[in-house]
Amino acid sequence: MRSWAEIDLAALERNLDLIRRAVPPKMKYISVVKADAYGHGILPTATRLMQSGVDLLAVANVKEAAEIREMGSGWPILVLGPLLEGEDSALLEYDLTATLSSPAEISRFQEKAKSKGQKVKVHLKVDTGMGRLGIWWEDARALVQKIEKVDEIELRGLLTHFADPSDLDFTSLQRERFKKIYDSIPSRLKADMMVHADNSSSLLHLERDSIFNAIRIGLLQFGVSPKKESLFSDLPVEPVLSFHSKLAVVKDLPAETTISYGRQHQLTRKSKIGIISAGYGDAIPLHCGNRAQALVRGQSYPIIGRVTMDQTVVDLTDAPDDLLSGEKVTLIGKQENQEILLSKLADDANTIPWELLCSITKRVPRVYTTNRE
């Protein structure tokens, strides 16, 4: 293989166990696996998560939900994104839970459920200040009253989304707005309702009398730690994904040679360079040139020049003389005592871990380690 991503499903399971033990037993675990499980591969990942005991899988759209459902029935799946009108029938066909945000969706879901003689399960999303999906919080109580009158719709959850967890005052305001809506809901509807707002970055503390009984976990379960303020920042999760490639060419170049498109790097001495057989068409970010590092034989070497679609140049001048083509190169992950974290490569590329993971393309094979310890 020219480049590949290794996915350690045993590490994923260990991370899940750590997270489970860090929250109260009553807290339900909503595992977010949208965008192909953040590049980890939705089918193997979702299978391992459900086998490991998550309470609910959350995806972005019907297509992702259908992929999981094709593996088997019974696993609860929440579609976080809005459904287009032509997708409503999938809720019943695949036994999915919808995220409801508007009166129009109530009418659509009711009509579809009546035609099939079934019920549609929903989580009501409240916009408490994100300015995106969800019914505006001041209008949410009226929407709950509409749902109460529709026999074909079952209210299974209530959720919101924090706009900026680092802004404690605004997040507190969002929590207050959300609690007002929760408190206005009749007790009979709350009995089996999942109430969730926090993800791994926004959860700062656990209150004994909190209204929340579920938490959405995304990157944390894949070993990407949140910011220091989070309750989970010190949780020793393990990276699940590593990314590797190979040296295609090793050659010498004279001093003052410029490297790659745009001539953004000039050699200051006679140098040995390596051509990595991967570029931004695989998973190496375009903007990490002259900033990021690569590991070869457990040592770190600088990426130089602009990253191109299919190749990336690394400066091997200080590497052992016997380095040849075919040598393994690690861009994310460990070699011997050295490690490049996903978050570090994202910083070097001036992006975020979410985008970096989602940019791993189809031509990069995923290699899964599945053994339990």
Full pLDDT tens readout for the chain, 373 residues: 999 999 999 999 999 999 999 888 889 999 999 999 999 999 999 999 999 999 999 999 999 999 999 988 888 999 999 999 899 999 999 999 999 999 999 999 999 999 999 999 999 999 999 999 999 999 999 999 999 999 999 999 999 999 988 888 998 999 999 999 999 999 998 988 999 987 766 565 565 558 899 999 999 999 998 776 667 878 999 999 999 999 999 999 999 999 999 999 999 999 999 999 999 999 999 999 999 999 999 999 999 999 999 999 999 999 999 999 999 999 999 999 999 999 999 999 999 999 999 999 999 999 998 765 5
Name every residue whose Cβ is closer than 8 Å to that of residue 172 and which is 6 or more positions away in sequence.
none
pLDDT confidence of residue 204: 58
- Say what angle helices 137-148 and 103-116 make with each other, to 10 degrees: 20
Ranges of beta strands (E only) in the chain are 3-8, 28-32, 56-59, 77-79, 97-100, 120-127, 135-136, 153-159, 194-196, 214-217, 241-253, 258-259, 265-266, 271-276, 293-296, 299-304, 312-315, 328-335, 338-340, 366-369
Residue 238 has a pLDDT of: 95
Active-site positions? 34, 261
Parallel, antiparallel or unpaired: strands 241-253 and 28-32: unpaired
Can you give the pTM of this predicted structure? 0.92
Residue 127: its pLDDT value, please?
97
Are 274 and 312 in contact by the 8 Å Cβ rule? The answer is: no
Q: Which domains does the chain have, with CATH numbers?
A: 8-222 (3.20.20.10), 241-369 (2.40.37.10)
Token code pair at residue 200: 């791994």
